[in-house]
Chain A
Amino acid sequence: SYELSQALSVSVALGQTARIDCAGNNIGSKSVQWHQQKPGQAPVVVIYRDKNRPSGISERFSGSNSGNTATLTISRAQAGDEADYYCQVWDSNFWVFGGGTKLTVL
């Protein structure tokens, strides 16, 4: 079965740029989604199909996907960006999630 790997945690200084990676075998050939989850809340998608932002999501969120790594980039990080971030792809009809990365804004 297909697997996705993420770092357990990433820290970023307030106002700086955070990058969260998601590794998978030839993930560049798949469509990647990024889901943000704040404590006590349901996940919310912040990027879909590699680089598309849903309506209402800040333009500070961007995504890229190539080779064996997909990346979520959060520019000008704010305290409100602190959350768990999960990458996700489709493998046949199955949803596959990465283990999640906890973003801390210092």
Chain B
Amino acid sequence: QIQLVQSGAEVKKPGASVKVSCKASGYTFTFYDINWVRQATGQGLEWMGWMNPHSGNTGYTQKFQGRVTMTSDNSISTAYLELSSLRSEDTAMYYCATLYMAQPFWGQGTLVTVSS
């Protein structure tokens, strides 16, 4: 079955960077985009962007342009989200998701806490 397994929780200081991983299984990793969505505590879902593992092409929402990088290591079917210049407002749960045969599948989420 299709699974997306994310890395564990992170605690970072303001100004630092964080890199979250998302390991895919159960399908051909390079065939489908990986999307990243975040959710602050008590808030709704906020889509951050996508990347295509085959081509390396990416698309980011304007809000995160210049601070976000989405990459992949296709040899291990793993996608990465890197967010730099962290601030307290970036404290949130970060989810990866893919669209397999038109059906979305979600990772379990990674909590990133930004605190001095």
Contact = CB atoms under 8 A, between A and B. Distances in A.
Nearest to A84: B44
Given A43-B95, A97-B46, A99-B44, A33 B107 contact: no
A56 to B, nearest CB: 10
Chain A at the B interface: mostly helix, strand, loop or mixed?
A: strand
Interface in A58-106: 86, 88, 93-100
B50 A35 contact: no
B103 A86 contact: no
Given A42-B95, A48-B102, A94-B59, 15 more contacts: A31-B102, A35-B104, A42-B107, A43-B45, A43-B95, A45-B103, A48-B103, A49-B103, A93-B33, A94-B61, A95-B35, A95-B50, A97-B44, A97-B45, A97-B47
18 contacts: A31-B102, A35-B45, A35-B104, A42-B95, A42-B107, A42-B109, A43-B95, A43-B106, A45-B105, A48-B102, A49-B102, A52-B103, A54-B103, A95-B35, A95-B50, A96-B47, A97-B46, A98-B44
Interface of A: 31, 33, 35, 37, 42-45, 48-49, 52, 54, 86, 88, 93-100
Interface of B: 33, 35, 37, 44-47, 50, 59, 61, 95, 102-109
